[in-house]
Amino acid sequence: MFPVFVKWERGTCVMKLWKAWKLKTKLVLSFSFLFAFSIILSGIFYYYSSVSELKKQTLQLLDSNSTQITRTIELYIEDMEKLSLSVFNDLLVQTVLSHSEKTNEAEDASLNQQMTSHLLNTTVSWPSVQGIFLYPVENKAITYYWAKRGPFFGYSIVDEPWYPYIETYTQSPYLLWPTMTENTITNFLGVKVFSLIRAINQIPTGKKIGYMKMDMDISVMKDLVSYMEYGDAHDSSLFILTDQGNVIYDSQDQWTGKIMEGINVTELIGKNTSGTLNWQGKSYLFGVYKSDHTEWTTLILKPMDSITKRLKEIRNTVTSIELLILLLVIVIAWFIATGITRPLRTMIITMRHVERGDFTIRSSQTDHRNEIGQLGRVFNQMLDSLQEMISQVYVAELREKDARLLALQAQINPHFLFNTLNILKSLGRKGATTDVVEVTESLAHLFRYSLYDWNGTVELSEELNLIQSYIKIQTYRFQARFTYEQNIPERLLKARILRLMIQPLVENAVVHGLEQRRSGGLISVNVQADDEILEIFVSDNGVGINIQTQELLNQNFAEIDIHSSNTQSEHMGIALLNIQKRLHLIYGDKYGLSFLHKPGGGTTIRLALPLHFE
């Protein structure tokens, strides 16, 4: 499961990376990949199919050439055999080898001279013959010969490497001895020869009277074999081999006269007449054919490198051309992708301006003949329609907002008046004329303050002065039953807030929280702020609200509908509802009222406003 999971994770990462790339990058990479993949795939197919076809043709040619070369060598060996038969049937040769009587030195010298002259005349038309040697059976110490380079003094048949085998050799009338360096006294150049050896029988008795050895210069093979028939001599190799691995001839002249290592000739012949093999760490194509007449095997080796060399050159040339074309495709793809993405980027910039509220900007696409131009034209038309619609909706909302704020103001002013008139009525019944004047002045302050623009803001210090006026009014009503305190950092006194935000909260604390207390009441206003939010806490130590009711009130605050009337909830006063609606109308749902749990009793309500100083 783990490898599958890792593979899935890698695939997911690749997909995420692909999605994160720009459209221009995707287009360029896609075009380049498809072209590169197609040319690489076609190049590989062409290369290997060409190699396969060329290999097939080369094997056929090697098979044919090995057969032709074998036949050519057979014909030459047949001619050698005819030459050996002419020596075999020669009267002088028969006479000298049949002579069994002892001779003196003078007679031996005379016979040697006659045989040398006679053998020279016999081979005059055979320039490749290096020498003919005659060995009498009756006298093994004597050797009659003609040779371009004379043998060592005292040289006889027993010094020949083939002598132990000739007595038992019966496979053919003659024996072909593998190539070896000529064993002569003047062979300073190391001439290599192969030999035809046969027994000489007396005519007509058939009695064996001697042996004949005919040495042939191995260079004659160069005249018999045409390199053009089986390939370039510099990369192909021709071998004439025996079943034991003795190399009769090597066209590269590295193995001639040696035993070939690493190739089993018998096993190679038993498979096919052509194929592939590995030799000395390299791969070769081979053609092989064994002669039934000479028992020699012709083996032609051609390195696989020479087969593919030209194709590799062509492949490299084609690859270079394809790389240039690929580069051209990348450039063209880049220009095409840029032509597509540049207008889109311009349109994205335009859309971002629209996103920030600028509906006057328009797309600059003027070419309507393509899809991008048509998209720009439709986008501009959409902006025109959207701007017109927004203007209509915006004006309608502003009118609706002003109407609702006026309605809220109309609700709050009677609310203030009703509560204050109750206080004045109580004071008037007591005959407290001076107190009535002070309450009336405080009430006038309240009304003057509430008559200003509700959409505008005032400094926090002005709102606190309004609370002082309200507290003065309530002091005449409740006397010493409660005290008022405030804790406001001096820097926040200049903060801007909406009118009549705090006074209704203080009023709510007095009326609902402290009305039933006979003494010891406390109302406090605390203000704090961070970088963005101004928080005002109005607390009292009155009867308090249980947790369930607080949660219900907070939920109602959060879900309040600014378009609904104020009669939907019996748990909140009109003033609190109006404050919440005003905040949502002007600042949004992020700001507003919320009740906080206060350990030890009492109530704390939090008012959150955006922090502004201007």
Average pLDDT value for the chain: 79
The answer to whether 528 and 611 are in contact (CB under 8 A) is: no
- Helix (DSSP H) and strand (DSSP E) numbers for the chain: 14, 17
Same structural domain for residues 396 and 431?
no
CA distance 65 to 287: 8
Same structural domain for residues 140 and 223?
yes
The answer to whether 487 and 524 are in contact (CB under 8 A) is: yes
Does residue 2 sit within a domain?
A: no
Same structural domain for residues 180 and 309?
yes
Same structural domain for residues 528 and 397?
no
Which pLDDT score, from 0 to 100, does residue 229 have? 46
346, 371, 394 — which closes off a domain?
A: 346
Does residue 303 sit within a domain?
A: yes
Residue 513: which CATH number? 3.30.565.10
Does residue 352 sit within a domain?
A: no
- 3-class SS of residue 484: strand
**pLDDT (tens digit per residue) in 77-103:** 999 999 989 888 888 888 888 876 666
Which pLDDT score, from 0 to 100, does residue 527 have? 94
* Structure confidence at residue 535 as a pLDDT band (50, 70, 90): very high
Same structural domain for residues 395 and 421?
no
Does residue 287 sit within a domain?
A: yes
Does residue 566 sit within a domain?
A: no
**pLDDT (tens digit per residue) in 136-153:** 888 877 888 888 877 777
408, 424, 439 — which closes off a domain?
A: 408
Same structural domain for residues 287 and 427?
no
Domain membership of residue 130 as a residue range: 23-346
Which pLDDT score, from 0 to 100, does residue 112 have? 82
Q: Residue 608: phi, psi to the nearest 5? A: -110, 125
* Whole-structure pTM value: 0.52
Of the chain, the percentage scoring pLDDT greater than 90 comes to: 11
Same structural domain for residues 248 and 105?
yes
CA distance 294 to 393: 112
Does residue 16 sit within a domain?
A: no
Does residue 10 sit within a domain?
A: no
What is the domain count for the chain?
Answer: 3
Same structural domain for residues 367 and 461?
no
**pLDDT (tens digit per residue) in 18-77:** 666 666 677 777 777 777 777 778 778 777 787 788 888 888 888 888 888 889 999 999
Eight-state DSSP code of residue 587: T
Same structural domain for residues 224 and 125?
yes
Residue 607 has pLDDT above 90, yes or no: yes
Does residue 17 sit within a domain?
A: no
Instruction: Select the more confidently predicted residue: 436 or 363.
Output: 436
Residue 280: which CATH number? 3.30.450.20
**pLDDT (tens digit per residue) in 257-303:** 888 888 888 888 776 678 888 888 888 888 899 888 888 999 998 88
Same structural domain for residues 254 and 127?
yes
CA distance 511 to 514: 6
**pLDDT (tens digit per residue) in 94-129:** 888 887 666 677 777 788 888 888 888 888 888 889
Bridge partners for 216 per DSSP? 129, 194
Beta strands, E only, 137-264: 144-147, 174-181, 192-201, 208-217, 237-241, 247-250
**pLDDT (tens digit per residue) in 306-353:** 777 777 777 778 778 878 887 887 788 777 777 777 777 777 777 777
346, 375, 396 — which closes off a domain?
A: 346
DSSP code string of 311-347: HHHHHHHHHHHHHHHHHHHHHHHHHHHHHHHHHHHHH
Same structural domain for residues 341 and 370?
no
Same structural domain for residues 382 and 424?
no
CA distance 517 to 127: 149
Which pLDDT score, from 0 to 100, does residue 280 have? 85
Bridge partners for 200 per DSSP? 210
Return the number of other C-beta atoms located less than 10 Å from residue 369's C-beta: 7
Residue 390 has pLDDT above 60, yes or no: yes
